[in-house]
Structure 1
Amino acid sequence: MAWQRRPADEEHTITDLSCDVAVIGAGTAGLAAERSARKAGATTLLIDESFGGTTCASVGCMPSKLLITAAAAAHGVAKADVFGIVVGETGVDGAAVMARVRSMRDAFVAATCETIAALPDGVQVRARATFEGATTLRLSDGRRVTAKAVVIATGSRPKVPEMFASLGDLVLTNETVFELEELPTSLAVVGAGALGLELAQAFARLGVAVTLLDKGETLAGLKDEKVEAALREIIQRDMAMHLGVEISVAREGDAAVLRWDGPAAGEGRFERVLVATGRPPSVADLGLDTTGLDLDDHGVPTFDPETLQCGTSSVFIAGDADAMVPVLHEASDEGAIAGANAATWPEVTREERCAPFAITFTDPPVAVIGAPAEDDSVIGCASFADQGRAKIEARAEGLVRLYAARPDGRLTGAEMVGPGMDHLGHLIAWAVQRGETATGVLELPFYHPTLEEGLKTALREICATIHAPLPSNRDQGNPPGA
């Protein structure tokens, strides 16, 4: 709601505010920014309309993983016979699944709200803020805030294309899907990025008839064609999948009718439609046109990724609002950097960023680390279709592709899908950030039988390509069958 000036007889109740650093948004990045600025000695204000908890706790990481975990339990029961375990009649209680998701989600949100409640007196300001200039904010309650520096940490919002408006309440986003009282019988998921894939597979393994649609032609934003092909083979076991298609929608009673055309044409009737077509930065209503900042085509201020400073101004930006890397650990890091630099502005410190690292929590998981492969990259491959520990666990599938630079085999990135890649991805991310070579990693201990051993094939392939000697004392090859 737009700010309206209060009647004259109420003017005396309005007390304007001032501080060193004003932070707009109390999500992960905003909380980190306020804490960092205050630690640096700045007086701070944290401004938010609702203080309703972080995106991660309320509508992102935590509720989605609760649903995924329920799906994993159902899938484990379904494949128990592989191990000689006889299971009687089973079923999925959709209402109980969703009730647990909400109950535990609410507990995570409550924990976040306790952190916010513990902030020093006077730091929280419950209002909506818009810029009136680079360092002046107008609050929805009529007050003004004057700050030496401002951090924008307003997060992101689901993108729902206009074409879905006709479906009304049949449309779900990540901000509404967890409010379902019961599992739908059928679900169209539009968007094959990380969020769409995770939820599509989870619902499918809970017994929902799922169709995945995307106008793009790749899954999870993967750039490595071989890894993407391995993921595609896995995902299409659980659901119908149509990529590279144009979609039209219509509502017929209580059903959504979707038609698609492209490499394959078809149509389907669905009880619900989950739109997972992205979460653009939530900056449109901030009045950024009053700040004098340069804005990109999406209305986001241009900024230095190592300082989070917008131009040479005293405005900083962090988290999903900057549309750079929309994941929690990056939002937290960015908030800390932005808050510290806002506190010391005009002096700012350039911070070396962590190696890029993203995980898609499908089963098996997908991990993307560092830089994509380049024309002169050395690539080491390891199939997990024949990996010892994976076969023991009846999870033998997937592919690892490690990228390295010449002449020494320094690891630069990876794309990986397979069992345990949410953990193995950490090992590679650490190695990339520390500048390790394939030879150097092979000198480290690998226990048997573990999934980690599966990385050795890819590491050895890099060494062979660059003619690097294998560690003679430690890397004697995998034991038979590993």
Structure 2
Amino acid sequence: MSVRNVDVAIIGAGTAGMSAYHQVRKSTDRIALIEGGPFGTTCARVGCMPSKLLIAPAEARHRLQVLPEFGIAACPGEVDGVAVMRRVRFERDRFVGFVKDAVEGFEQKHIIRAHAEFEDAHTLRLSPTDDVEQASPEIERIKAERIIIATGSRPMIPEPFKAVGDRLIVNDDVFNWQDLPESVAVFGAGVIGIELGQALHRLGVRVHLFGRDGAVGGISDPDVRSYAARTFAAEWPVSFDPRDVRISRDGDAVVVDFIDDQGAACSERFEWLLAATGRVSNVDRLALHNSGLKLGARGIPLFDPLTMQTSEKHIFIAGDSAAYRPVLHEAADEGHLAGQNAANYPEVFRHTRRTPLGIVFSDPQIAFAGQRHAELVEGKVDFAVGEVSFENQGRSRVLLVNQGLLRVYGERGTGLLLGAEMIGPANEHLAHLIAWVIQMRMTVGQIIELPFYHPVIEEGLRTALRMLNKSLGMGPKPPPNCIDCGPGG
């Protein structure tokens, strides 16, 4: 039996694994970076980057519909699906190439192309993969003093969807299309479902989005969620709370029978069923029963999010495999933290995490910063709410993007800004501003004193903060409207 002894073994070479590798490499040359699939992070291959490449032309075409309101004649914009998907694939491959270039810059002796699973708490058993040849076929086992789990995640496929056979796809498949299809049933009203469903609709694909239990884009604030549901339903076919859903296959067609949100019985046929019903951690492929790790309800190792250390103190976990905050910048942070602590073990340091930040690149955009409404309610936090509608907000009306609702939350007693949930224009920027001031532990009153230019969309945030400050009992009643442009700034 051929065994390699290392100080640190990292299972997975995605965003978290690569970030961990950079940290471990500073302390030791005895490393094994084990990857059983293709190089290229989830974000670059099948996530945030290719999805934005599909959203960009969709938004450009949709914007043509607004031009007549400006007094500019415009055609609807004929879509060349082959050209759209050619650019998506080309740019996607370019982003993946950057990741591959980074890996080629690693010490190649550290890289092992194989699947790994636990034989015991310090031993990983290797096996070849279907996709790649094992770089070091003579190595059958890795014995490691410390181990970092960074195996990422994969799309979750509910069992009823499998009835449609090869008409079932996930977001990974979309970005390999050679042309746009005629129709798609999108199941899942989370980030992936809303982004891809709306983009395909705007590119001329017949789409129906099916959600569950009224959920919309992960929004927990009931007022914001209701606004989002109405806004999306006004643009394209959506059923956020369908009942009696039945999925079947008829020849090459996917048939969906259901009771819609208004109680009507419906039956629709589609070319494809796109499963966007969430992702599942790949830790279930690691034979964790051999590791001694204590597992949570979803089979994920229990860990400290401030150290990424598990119940087996020499084992750490990071990125989507931990399913704590499954977005790229958090995966990079977790990999960095796990790598530092694995490298310095048994010295382990706790690090403060960044303020939570999330963005759905729909139109209008959905975003979150800081603590969510549901978290505050469940935590029985004494908080107040301020809000602004963007329907009459000055800059938003000028640009004809005046749809949206922003709600901000502040702590009674301290006046600290705690969080926000929103749907509206330029929310990717507003969410950043809010996250930054929350992380700086600024009060609502202090934020209001910061400069706000006129006319800008950010004035809407100031309106919401003024209302919040009044609700906290820490400021005067806000002015009813902006002198120059009306309610909301």
The two structures share one fold, judged by TM-score above 0.5 = yes
**Residues in 2 aligned to 1:289 and 1:437: alpha-carbon distance in whole angstroms:** 47
Match of 1:58 in 2: 45
Question: Alignment partner for residue 437 of structure 2, among 431, 434, 455?
Answer: 431
Match of 1:108 in 2: 95
Q: Deviations over 1:412-453 (max 9, x none)?
A: 111011000011100001111111111111111111111111
CA contact (8 A) 1:29 1:318 kept: yes
2:37 corresponds to 1:33: no
> What amino acid maps onto 1:388 in structure 2?
G
CA contact (8 A) 1:188 1:211 kept: yes
Match of 1:244 in 2: 241
Pairs within 5 Å for 1:24-423:
24-41=11-28, 43-88=30-75, 90-140=77-127, 141=137, 142-245=139-242, 246-261=244-259, 263=261, 264=263, 265-373=265-373, 374=376, 376-423=382-429
Q: Deviations over 1:382-429 (max 9, x none)?
A: 111111110011000100000010113201111011000011100001
* TM-score, length basis structure 1: 0.93
Give the secondary-structure state (helix, strand or coil) at the position aligned to 1:424.
helix
> What amino acid maps onto 2:484 in structure 1?
P
**Residues in 1 aligned to 2:232 and 2:148: alpha-carbon distance in whole angstroms:** 40
**Residues in 2 aligned to 1:424 and 1:232: alpha-carbon distance in whole angstroms:** 21
CA contact (8 A) 1:51 1:126 kept: no
CA contact (8 A) 1:205 1:238 kept: no
Give the secondary-structure state (helix, strand or coil) at the position aligned to 1:233.
helix
**Residues in 2 aligned to 1:191 and 1:398: alpha-carbon distance in whole angstroms:** 22
Give the secondary-structure state (helix, strand or coil) at the position aligned to 1:187.
strand
**Residues in 2 aligned to 1:350 and 1:427: alpha-carbon distance in whole angstroms:** 26
Match of 1:454 in 2: 460
**Residues in 2 aligned to 1:224 and 1:297: alpha-carbon distance in whole angstroms:** 26
> What amino acid maps onto 1:256 in structure 2?
V
**Residues in 2 aligned to 1:68 and 1:40: alpha-carbon distance in whole angstroms:** 42
**Residues in 2 aligned to 1:223 and 1:364: alpha-carbon distance in whole angstroms:** 17
Give the secondary-structure state (helix, strand or coil) at the position aligned to 1:409.
coil
By how many angstroms is 1:132 displaced? 0.8
Question: Alignment partner for residue 480 of structure 1, among 472, 477, 484?
Answer: 484
**Residues in 1 aligned to 2:396 and 2:230: alpha-carbon distance in whole angstroms:** 17
Match of 1:441 in 2: 447
By how many angstroms is 1:372 displaced? 2.4
Gapped runs of 5+ residues in structure 2? 128-136
CA contact (8 A) 1:408 1:466 kept: no
**Residues in 2 aligned to 1:317 and 1:97: alpha-carbon distance in whole angstroms:** 38
> What amino acid maps onto 2:78 in structure 1?
G
2:9 corresponds to 1:22: yes
Give the secondary-structure state (helix, strand or coil) at the position aligned to 2:52.
helix
> Against the structure 1 CA distance between its residues 47 and 471, is the aligned structure 2 distance closer, same or farther, given a 3 Å change threshold?
farther
**Residues in 2 aligned to 1:343 and 1:471: alpha-carbon distance in whole angstroms:** 54
**Residues in 2 aligned to 1:86 and 1:39: alpha-carbon distance in whole angstroms:** 60
**Residues in 2 aligned to 1:451 and 1:304: alpha-carbon distance in whole angstroms:** 39
How many residues align? The count is 467
By how many angstroms is 1:89 displaced? 6.3
> Against the structure 1 CA distance between its residues 97 and 476, is the aligned structure 2 distance closer, same or farther, given a 3 Å change threshold?
same
**Residues in 1 aligned to 2:415 and 2:196: alpha-carbon distance in whole angstroms:** 37
CA contact (8 A) 2:470 2:477 kept: no
CA contact (8 A) 2:309 2:315 kept: yes
**Residues in 1 aligned to 2:475 and 2:269: alpha-carbon distance in whole angstroms:** 59
> What amino acid maps onto 1:210 in structure 2?
V
Choose 96-105 or 166-175, whichever is displaced more: 166-175
By how many angstroms is 1:88 displaced? 4.1
**Residues in 2 aligned to 1:261 and 1:85: alpha-carbon distance in whole angstroms:** 41
> Against the structure 1 CA distance between its residues 247 and 471, is the aligned structure 2 distance closer, same or farther, given a 3 Å change threshold?
closer
Give the secondary-structure state (helix, strand or coil) at the position aligned to 2:172.
coil
* TM-score, length basis structure 2: 0.92
Provide the aligned C-alpha RMSD in A.
1.9
Give the secondary-structure state (helix, strand or coil) at the position aligned to 1:176.
helix
Choose 325-334 or 290-299, whichever is displaced more: 290-299
> What amino acid maps onto 1:24 in structure 2?
I
Q: Deviations over 1:316-368 (max 9, x none)?
A: 10001011111101100000011111111222111111111111110111111
Q: Deviations over 1:284-319 (max 9, x none)?
A: 121111011111222211111111111142111000
**Residues in 1 aligned to 2:120 and 2:65: alpha-carbon distance in whole angstroms:** 59
> What amino acid maps onto 2:122 in structure 1?
T
Give the secondary-structure state (helix, strand or coil) at the position aligned to 1:219.
coil
> What amino acid maps onto 1:433 in structure 2?
Q
CA contact (8 A) 1:26 1:51 kept: no
Gapped runs of 5+ residues in structure 1? 1-10
> What amino acid maps onto 1:253 in structure 2?
G
By how many angstroms is 1:41 displaced? 4.3
Match of 2:131 in 1: none
CA contact (8 A) 1:227 1:400 kept: yes
Q: Deviations over 1:184-234 (max 9, x none)?
A: 111110000011000010001111111111222120121111101111122
**Residues in 2 aligned to 1:385 and 1:93: alpha-carbon distance in whole angstroms:** 33
Percent of residue pairs bearing the same amino acid type: 43
CA contact (8 A) 1:368 1:415 kept: yes
**Residues in 2 aligned to 1:243 and 1:87: alpha-carbon distance in whole angstroms:** 33
**Residues in 2 aligned to 1:102 and 1:205: alpha-carbon distance in whole angstroms:** 19
CA contact (8 A) 1:190 1:276 kept: yes
> What amino acid maps onto 2:25 in structure 1?
R
**Residues in 2 aligned to 1:477 and 1:383: alpha-carbon distance in whole angstroms:** 12
> Against the structure 1 CA distance between its residues 426 and 251, is the aligned structure 2 distance closer, same or farther, given a 3 Å change threshold?
same
